[in-house]
Amino acid sequence: MSKGVTAKSEDYGRWYTDVITKAQLADYGPVKGTMVIRPYGFSLWESVKSAFDNRFKATGHVNAYFPLFIPKSFLSKEAEHVAGFAKECAVVTHHRLMANPDGDGLVVDPESALEEEVVVRPTSETVIWAMYKKWIQSYRDLPLLINQWVNVVRWEMRTRLFLRTTEFLWQEGHTAHATAEEAEEEAKKILEIYREVAEDVMAIPVFTGLKTDAEKFAGAEHTYCIEAMMSDCRALQAGTSHNLGQNFAKAFDVTFQTEDNREEHVYATSWGVSTRLIGAIAMVHGDDKGLRLPPRIAPHQVVVVPIGKNAEDVNSVLEYLTGTLEAVKAEGIRCYVDDRDGVTPGFKFNEWEMKGVPVRLEVGSRDMEQNVVTLVRRDSGEKVSVPKDKLGEEILRLLDEIQKSLYNQAKTFRDEHTLTVESYDEFKSIIEEKSGFVKCGWDGDPKTEAAIQEETKATIRCIPFEQQVDDLSCVYSGKPAKYQVVFGKAY
């Protein structure tokens, strides 16, 4: 393994892959497009997951598990939904292998063809709604607020670690409601959770808004999204929340009896965030030394590197810290001692910087003489000496500051690269130079959207909730703008 990572400025794509693999977040799996999430990366995912899960539970949602396999026929029940996913479904056609009669290895036993082929879930709306049909009879059964944390498979042509893999992990919530208003409220409530976790926990500033019809989920009435800017100025859809209206209820004939004894189709939402967010964390905060993790999700918030000539020295450092580290941990700080033998401190510094640990704690003889320890911030590289007995409070303060600083850096970057334009020429030059998002007027016509995409590859990332369209005209057609939208090139 070579030492550093490819510089961001030299080759962004390679930089990203280098960071992901060298920080040991993930590795390539043996099947094309698959990914192994390594323990360090999985720990990150667990932090992200629990931030969401706690909030889902606090708002009345419960977790469950629905099967991986879906009857092929289910997928075709909702017309738009089929169109959206048919092209990327893995299909199980047989259930048995046999020794190859003509040679080595195994072949599919042709005798074992399935009566009805099954699809590996690309998303679970269809199985879930088939079950909801059984479970929902009365308004008393509503709302039904279920979430699941599972893997899904979408057979993608081009894949990238975390951002787009054939199989990925996510959370998918599926809710059923008695009224359209309630479903709408739910979709927005979830979007707010997504925004909060993205910004407050992962330190990733996001635009929130509505997807255009072209970009919305197949089968949804409308889709809300959080949209983030990566450090190469490209857009990443970081989470979506769909108001499905009665589309799936109608497709699966899910009705309920209202309080006044009418029969009505239920109203639905679905919403998801995926391991893609781990890629976003790397791309939003990382630098040429590797990851920079926001303290709230960092597997280790502090790593201790003892400095010494031999094992004896290291032991005396650890002894020096006895009590102190316990106090730090008692503050709820995730602290890891790197007491590996035979690896130089310099090597450890670089390794933990690659892994993005927010604070490094160095202790050597110089510190011990003065009864201090040395703290180094990963975000700024700043080094400070602090008295041993103030360590806990100082770390807490630093972690808090790093969390804010990472958010602010990302926000400043995003804002500096989000330009409001009026002319299509300006629009094109910004998009072509890949220098950011463009905010501009749009006449609301899908043809305009398609024409712009055709020419520039930029898409409408979202229609922000806050709208000011007075006197605004469409950047492309010149007609009065229906919305002010955010354009960008997307991952």
Partner RNA sequence: CGGGGUGUGGCGCAGCCCGGUAGCGCACCUGCUUUGGGAGCAGGGGGUCGUAGGUUCAAAUCCUAUCACCCCGACCA
The least distance separating RNA from the CB of residue 169, rounded to whole angstroms, comes to 9
Options 38, 72, 133, 160; binder of RNA; rule CB under 7 A: 160
Cβ proximity to RNA, 126 vs 237, nearer residue: 237
Applying CB under 7 A, among 345, 388, 411, 435 the residue interacting with RNA is 345
Judged by CB under 7 A, the residue of 149, 336, 347, 424 near RNA is 347
Instruction: Note whether 164 binds RNA by CB under 7 A.
Output: yes
**Angle made by CA atoms 57, 62, 63, in degrees to the nearest 5:** 115
> Tokens 């060298």 appear where?
22
CB of 194 to RNA, least distance (A): 12
d(CA 479, CA 466): 20
d(CA 303, CA 294): 14
- Secondary structure element (H or E) that encloses residue 463, with its range: strand 459-464
Q: Which is nearer to RNA, 49 or 276 (CB)?
A: 276
Q: Where are the beta strands (DSSP E) in 192-308?
A: 206-210, 222-229, 235-245, 255-257, 263-265, 267-274, 302-306
Binding of RNA by 19 (CB under 7 A): no
- Residue 350 sits in the site that holds RNA (CB under 7 A): yes
Binder of RNA out of 58, 134, 342, 466 (CB under 7 A)? 342
Nearest-angstrom CA–CA distance, 421 and 232 = 20
Binding part of the chain for RNA, among 26-34, 173-181, 199-207, 409-417 by CB under 7 A, reads: 26-34
Cβ closest to RNA, residue 266 vs residue 303? 303
Query: To the nearest whole angstrom, how small is the minimum distance from the Cβ of residue 33 to RNA?
Result: 7
Please give the Cα distance from 55 to 50 (Å, whole number).
8
Our finding on whether 307 is near RNA (CB under 7 A) is yes
Closer to RNA by Cβ: residue 349 or 424? 349
- Bridge partners, residue 268, by sequence: 176, 245
Size of the site for RNA (CB under 7 A): 63
Instruction: Name the residue nearer to RNA (CB basis): 70 or 481.
Output: 70
Interaction of residue 387 with RNA, rule CB under 7 A: no
In the bound state with RNA, the residue whose beta carbon lies nearer, of 415 and 455, is: 455
* Residue 312 CA: distances (Å) to CA of 46, 339, 374: 36, 11, 20
What secondary structure does DSSP assign to 60-128, as a single string?
A: T-EE----SEEEHHHHTTSHHHHHHHGGG--EEEES-EEE-TTSSSEEE-GGGEEEEEEEE-SSSHHHH
Single residue of 49, 61, 154, 300 touching RNA by CB under 7 A: 154
Which 196-235 residues touch RNA, going by CB under 7 A? Answer: 215, 217
Least distance to RNA, CB of residue 279, Å: 8
Residue list 262-281, contact with RNA (CB under 7 A): 272, 274-276
Q: Phi and psi for 441 in degrees, rounded to 5? A: -80, 150
163 vs 406 by CB, closer to RNA: 163
CA gap 425, 421 in Å, rounded: 9
Select the residue interacting with RNA from 156, 196, 200, 426 (CB under 7 A).
156
CB 334: neighbour CB atoms within 10 A?
18
| Span near RNA by CB under 7 A; candidates 28-36, 327-335, 406-414, 436-444 | 28-36
The reply on whether position 240 binds RNA by CB under 7 A is yes
Residue 96 touching RNA (CB under 7 A): no
β 26-28/35-37 pair status:
antiparallel
Q: Which helix (H) or strand (E) holds 151?
A: strand 144-153
Residues found in the chain: 491
166 near RNA (CB under 7 A)? yes
Q: Is residue 72 within 8 Å of residue 116, measured between CB atoms?
A: yes
Asked if 284 is part of the footprint of RNA (rule: CB under 7 A), the reply reads no
118 or 372: CB nearest RNA: 372
Contact 211, 462 (CB under 8 A): yes
Q: How far is the CB of 384 from RNA (least distance, A)?
A: 11
For residue 282, give the nearest of 37, 31, 30 by alpha carbon: 37
Q: How far apart are CA 44 and CA 278, in angstroms?
A: 7
239 versus 441: smaller Cβ distance to RNA = 239
Q: Which of 39, 67, 323, 381 binds RNA (CB under 7 A)?
A: 381
| Residue from 125, 172, 287, 362 in contact with RNA (CB under 7 A) | 362
Token pair for residue 1?
């393994």
Residue closer to RNA (CB basis): 164 or 296: 164
- Report d(CA 261, CA 255) in Å as an integer: 12
Q: Which residues bind RNA (CB under 7 A)?
A: 1-4, 13, 17, 28, 31-33, 84, 87-88, 154, 156-160, 163-166, 168, 215, 217, 236-238, 240, 272, 274-276, 289, 307-311, 342, 344-347, 349-351, 353-354, 360, 362-368, 374, 376, 381, 457, 490
